[in-house]
A and B are shown apart, each in its own frame.
Chain A
Amino acid sequence: MAVCIAVIAKENYPLYIRSSPTENELKFHYMVHTSLDVVDEKISAMGKALVDQRELYLGLLYPTEDYKVYGYVTNSKVKFVMVVDSSNTALRDNEIRSMFRKLHNSYTDVMCNPFYNPGDRIQSSRAFDNMVTSMMIQVC
């Protein structure tokens, strides 16, 4: 039930970003961009020795008036950012976690595809698109 889902590469450029088209997409792009700072902050706060022990799920990065932004980082520093509508109070933390898990699985499947060059935009994988669509808010 996310409003926007983005996959950010290690170098902090987007690999995949999709928003629900009802909103101004640029706003979501901006929100994702600003959330990267928070993600970096959370990563660095863990300490250098705790890379393995670091939780992949970062949790709520920051809330805004209308939206809440959640973050997730893989061990290869690929970030998933999800923007969720604040009005959707039914979403619990576990659900967000499961959504990120699905995202991660789909992302690994994309990675496994030998025709995908790491660093490319994820535009070839229909499975990934389908999965993201399933997670996107169904309002539209």
Chain B
Amino acid sequence: MEGLTLSDAEQKYYSDLFSYCDIESTKKVVVNGRVLELFRAAQLPNDVVLQIMELCGATRLGYFGRSQFYIALKLVAVAQSGFPLRVESINTVKDLPLPRFVASKNEQESRHAASYSSDSENQGSYSGVIPPPPGRGQVKKGSVSHDTVQPRTSADAQEPASPVVSPQQSPPTSPHTWRKHSRHPSGGNSERPLAGPGPFWSPFGEAQSGSSAGDAVWSGHSPPPPQENWVSFADTPPTSTLLTMHPASVQDQTTVRTVASATTAIEIRRQSSSYDDPWKITDEQRQYYVNQFKTIQPDLNGFIPGSAAKEFFTKSKLPILELSHIWELSDFDKDGALTLDEFCAAFHLVVARKNGYDLPEKLPESLMPKLIDLEDSADVGDQPGEVGYSGSPAEAPPSKSPSMPSLNQTWPELNQSSEQWETFSERSSSSQTLTQFDSNIAPADPDTAIVHPVPIRMTPSKIHMQEMELKRTGSDHTNPTSPLLVKPSDLSEENKINSSVKFASGNTVADGYSSSDSFTSDPEQIGSNVTRQRSHSGTSPDNTAPPPPPPRPQPSHSRSSSLDMNRTFTVTTGQQQAGVVAHPPAVPPRPQPSQAPGPAVHRPVDADGLITHTSTSPQQIPEQPNFADFSQFEVFAASNVNEEQDDEAEKHPEVLPAEKASDPANSLRVAKADSKTEEKTAASAPTNVSKGTAPLAPPPKPVRRRLKSEDELRPEVDEHTQKTGVLAAVLASQPSIPRSVGKDKKAIQASIRRNKETNTVLARLNSELQQQLKDVLEERISLEVQLEQLRPFSHL
């Protein structure tokens, strides 16, 4: 490497720069990072920088020695002058201007250049140079532990202090003190690295004063907007100290603050260090945020509602759009309220935005509300202002956005995780959260009629039969039994049937024959009804109740029940009884037609009697004396026996029409008749013995009658041979009865009784016969009149 000849100014300048880059104060080797930053500040293209580096031998050596550094600087000057870079150009090019480095460096250089040109201005320049860093350092938001001068952060810290102040109407002395507090250490911090260069940093005290002045000015400007504050702050130190500072530098200072950070040794040192999260909240900041949170919400675990937060952050005078975005970023759980962590994050973002940082697209990790309380590590002491630092020196991002692309590498996973969170939240807030109602709950099936199962007797029983009969006979009551309600049709049918049967039975109450018919038919109908019920139950087994049970016997209808019970139990006996009941009153009229004197009359009477056999039942009585007479007159010829038989036969038709097959009834009747006949016989026997003609008179009549009726009764006798046999047996037994009795008193008394009864009977008979005689005579007269009318006048 050829010798490098430097002018004095250059020498000085280069040594200054070297010392600046010589963070470690080795006086021999310059830190690469700083050098690189310096070269970048030279606003040279990267390839040029690389070329320079190569040329100077740093790449070869791997470090910047003093000579390399000097050569590099010279080459920078050459490049900036527009001369081609060549090794030999170092010395060849004459009168090169000092290399110019942009930004504060530029300022410094310019100042330095200015200072070199005029030493008198060195002080000023230095002072001009110096104040900003300490000033910035003063305003540094960092904690006491901050050992780096960060002009930008200080300025930034200054700005957030203002919004910090603004939300609170009561001027916070703490921010002031905080500022002052931070100032000093920063001043101290700035002092340390700056102490190295020595004379250049000697006017630190001035800077302090300037800074204090600036601080005073700044404190005066505490409420004003940050930009103004920044500007004012930026202006005051230069104005107070450096008049030569041209506005461009100021503007550069304001605009390229990110690059300005590169000038400070502390920044470079910081860049060299590991990645620091620029968004981390310092303890001091956090404490401040917590205090602010408490003013709104005393409970640290509680929420700040959205409206209160809105008011609070609106005071920061940020545009609503940005506040809205800050909210979007900070409200992590999207609940419209801020927890402590969310609030701190929002506050931090507001501060950052106030400082001019662009809001990140996604919430930085450090600002994310964590589930566990994370205390910001003390050693970090990072400030949001550092966002620019760490990003810029490494990659010199032209953008001022603190959202460094370098840090984004740590974020992708965060982003992904956040996306995952988003998706998770999305999943969680899926349709379940949105009111989406399920389909209607199926209503109860109205078709399922819950019907009380009603027991229905299926098996017919006697009671069932009785009930059926009850229905039939009971005219008034419609069966109120419940099961019958289920099947009114059947009931109606039954009722109809029953009614019909009732009608029949009603009609034939007197007529035992028909009643007997009805009763006999009833079982069939009952059976049919039962079957019908059964069929109905078979067809609709599901819902319809089983067929109604047969109507239960109702104790209320004692009358009919008792009657019907009797009837049902003794179908025939009941009938018989009824018949017995019915018949006896019907007995008397019977013998009248049959006892008609005239044979011609008798016939029709007999015919009538045949027709009205039922009514001829009373004829049994008059016939009984005939029987009785006949039995008495056993002495008479066999005709008497025949007459008896005829009488019996006469009896039979009377008996038979009354009942069909009521042998017991007949027997009863016969028994009654027999008793009567017995009486008659008993009575007639003694009467016949005692009375001569009187009993004889009637006997001939019955004999006659019998004789006459024989002709008519014979066919009937043939029909009723069976009954005659019975009657004959009964009659035969009758005479035997008095004979068997051997006691005279009783026999006489019995005979007297019998005679009396026969007397009465005969008397009655006589009267009836007389009546019949009269009737017949009248009929004869009428007939003769008719004949005469019909006959021609023959006798005329």
Question: Which A residues contact B (CB, under 8 angstroms)?
Answer: 52-53, 55-56, 75, 101-102, 104-105, 108-109, 112-116, 123-127
Task: Evaluate contact between B437 and A114: CB separation under 8 angstroms.
Answer: no
Chain A residues in 8 Å Cβ range of B425: 105
Given contacts A114-B306, A115-B310, whether A56 and B336 have CB atoms under 8 Å apart is no
Given contacts A56-B434, A101-B430, A114-B309, whether A126 and B335 have CB atoms under 8 Å apart is no
Task: Evaluate contact between A101 and B324: CB separation under 8 angstroms.
Answer: no
A126 to B331, CA, bound (A): 14
Given contacts A109-B334, A126-B325, whether A53 and B430 have CB atoms under 8 Å apart is no
Q: Does B320 reach chain A (CB closer than 8 Å)?
A: yes
Chain B residues in 8 Å Cβ range of A101: 426, 430-431, 434
Task: Evaluate contact between B324 and A116: CB separation under 8 angstroms.
Answer: yes
Q: Pick the contact of A113: B331, B426, B436 (CB < 8 A).
A: B331
Q: Does B295 reach chain A (CB closer than 8 Å)?
A: no
B470 to chain A, nearest CB (A): 56
Task: Evaluate contact between A126 and B328: CB separation under 8 angstroms.
Answer: yes
Binary CB contact string for chain B from 506 to 550 against chain A (1 if under 8 A, 0 otherwise): 000000000000000000000000000000000000000000000
Task: Evaluate contact between B336 and A112: CB separation under 8 angstroms.
Answer: yes
Given contacts A109-B334, A112-B335, A124-B324, whether A53 and B307 have CB atoms under 8 Å apart is no
Q: Pick the contact of B324: A55, A105, A113 (CB < 8 A).
A: A113
Task: Evaluate contact between B434 and A104: CB separation under 8 angstroms.
Answer: yes
A112 to B328, CA, bound (A): 9
Task: Evaluate contact between B306 and A112: CB separation under 8 angstroms.
Answer: yes
* 8 more A-B residue pairs beyond the given contacts A113-B327, A126-B361, with a C-beta to C-beta distance below 8 A: A53-B437, A53-B440, A56-B435, A104-B434, A109-B334, A112-B336, A115-B323, A125-B328
Task: Evaluate contact between B435 and A52: CB separation under 8 angstroms.
Answer: yes
Task: Evaluate contact between A115 and B327: CB separation under 8 angstroms.
Answer: yes
B304 to chain A, nearest CB (A): 10
Binary CB contact string for chain B from 309 to 333 against chain A (1 if under 8 A, 0 otherwise): 1100000000011011101100100
Q: Does B81 reach chain A (CB closer than 8 Å)?
A: no
| Chain B residues bordering chain A, tally (CB within 8 A) | 27
Mark out the residues of chain B between 433 and 470 whose CB falls within 8 Å of any chain A CB in the assembled complex. 434-437, 440
Task: Evaluate contact between B334 and A112: CB separation under 8 angstroms.
Answer: yes
Q: Does B782 reach chain A (CB closer than 8 Å)?
A: no
Chain A residues in 8 Å Cβ range of B320: 115, 124
Task: Evaluate contact between B430 and A124: CB separation under 8 angstroms.
Answer: no
A4 to chain B, nearest CB (A): 22
CB-CB nearest in chain A for B305 = A114
Q: Pick the contact of A105: B323, B429, B436 (CB < 8 A).
A: B429
Mark out the residues of chain B between 397 and 433 whose CB falls within 8 Å of any chain A CB in the assembled complex. 425-426, 429-431
Task: Evaluate contact between B328 and A113: CB separation under 8 angstroms.
Answer: yes
Question: Which B residues contact A (CB, under 8 angstroms)?
Answer: 305-307, 309-310, 320-321, 323-325, 327-328, 331, 334-336, 361, 425-426, 429-431, 434-437, 440
Residues of A contacting B: mostly: loop
CB-CB nearest in chain A for B423 = A102
CB-CB nearest in chain B for A115 = B324
A115 to B307, CA, bound (A): 8
Task: Evaluate contact between B328 and A114: CB separation under 8 angstroms.
Answer: no
Task: Evaluate contact between A112 and B436: CB separation under 8 angstroms.
Answer: no
Task: Evaluate contact between A124 and B321: CB separation under 8 angstroms.
Answer: yes
A29 to chain B, nearest CB (A): 24
A109 to B325, CA, bound (A): 12
Chain A residues in 8 Å Cβ range of B437: 52-53
Task: Evaluate contact between A112 and B323: CB separation under 8 angstroms.
Answer: no
Task: Evaluate contact between B309 and A109: CB separation under 8 angstroms.
Answer: no
A24 to B535, CA, bound (A): 80
Task: Evaluate contact between A114 and B325: CB separation under 8 angstroms.
Answer: no
Q: Pick the contact of A55: B305, B334, B436 (CB < 8 A).
A: B436
Task: Evaluate contact between A75 and B435: CB separation under 8 angstroms.
Answer: yes
CB-CB nearest in chain B for A104 = B434
6 sample A-B contacts, Cβ–Cβ < 8 Å, listed by A number: A52-B437, A101-B426, A109-B334, A113-B327, A114-B305, A124-B324
A112 to B336, CA, bound (A): 5
Chain A residues in 8 Å Cβ range of B328: 109, 113, 125-127
Chain B residues in 8 Å Cβ range of A102: 426
A112 to B437, CA, bound (A): 23
A119 to B434, CA, bound (A): 21
A123 to B334, CA, bound (A): 18
Chain A residues in 8 Å Cβ range of B426: 101-102, 105
Greatest chain A CB density within 10 A among B328, B429, B431, B437 is at: B328
CB-CB nearest in chain B for A126 = B325
Q: Which 8 residue pairs of A and B lie closest in terms of their CB atoms, listed nearest first?
A: A114-B306, A115-B324, A114-B310, A112-B336, A124-B324, A124-B321, A53-B437, A115-B323
CB-CB nearest in chain B for A75 = B435
Task: Evaluate contact between B435 and A112: CB separation under 8 angstroms.
Answer: no
Chain B residues in 8 Å Cβ range of A126: 325, 328, 361
A113 to B321, CA, bound (A): 11
Chain B residues in 8 Å Cβ range of A104: 434
Task: Evaluate contact between B306 and A113: CB separation under 8 angstroms.
Answer: yes
Given contacts A114-B306, A114-B336, whether A125 and B430 have CB atoms under 8 Å apart is no
Chain A residues in 8 Å Cβ range of B436: 55-56
B485 to chain A, nearest CB (A): 39
A61 to B558, CA, bound (A): 80
A112 to B331, CA, bound (A): 9
Given contacts A105-B426, A126-B325, whether A114 and B434 have CB atoms under 8 Å apart is no
A58 to B792, CA, bound (A): 118
Chain A residues in 8 Å Cβ range of B429: 105
Chain A residues in 8 Å Cβ range of B435: 52, 56, 75
A104 to B426, CA, bound (A): 10
A53 to B438, CA, bound (A): 8
A125 to B324, CA, bound (A): 7
Greatest chain B CB density within 10 A among A52, A56, A105, A115 is at: A115
A75 to B433, CA, bound (A): 13
A114 to B327, CA, bound (A): 8
A56 to B437, CA, bound (A): 10
CB-CB nearest in chain A for B307 = A114
A101 to B331, CA, bound (A): 21
A105 to B430, CA, bound (A): 8
A75 to B435, CA, bound (A): 8
A53 to B310, CA, bound (A): 36
CB-CB nearest in chain A for B334 = A109
Chain A residues in 8 Å Cβ range of B440: 53
A98 to B14, CA, bound (A): 66
B717 to chain A, nearest CB (A): 95
A8 to chain B, nearest CB (A): 18
A115 to B306, CA, bound (A): 8
A34 to B314, CA, bound (A): 40
A79 to chain B, nearest CB (A): 15
B350 to chain A, nearest CB (A): 12
A80 to B680, CA, bound (A): 121
Greatest chain B CB density within 10 A among A53, A114, A123 is at: A114
Chain A residues in 8 Å Cβ range of B331: 112-113
B414 to chain A, nearest CB (A): 15
Q: Pick the contact of A124: B310, B325, B334 (CB < 8 A).
A: B325
Chain B residues in 8 Å Cβ range of A112: 306, 331, 334-336
B317 to chain A, nearest CB (A): 14
A101 to B431, CA, bound (A): 7
CB-CB nearest in chain B for A52 = B437
Chain A residues in 8 Å Cβ range of B321: 123-124
CB-CB nearest in chain B for A54 = B437
B377 to chain A, nearest CB (A): 30
Chain A residues in 8 Å Cβ range of B431: 101
CB-CB nearest in chain B for A128 = B328
A102 to B328, CA, bound (A): 16
A118 to B177, CA, bound (A): 42
A57 to B261, CA, bound (A): 55
Chain A residues in 8 Å Cβ range of B310: 114-115
A97 to B421, CA, bound (A): 20
Chain B residues in 8 Å Cβ range of A125: 324-325, 328
A78 to chain B, nearest CB (A): 12
A56 to B430, CA, bound (A): 13
B595 to chain A, nearest CB (A): 95
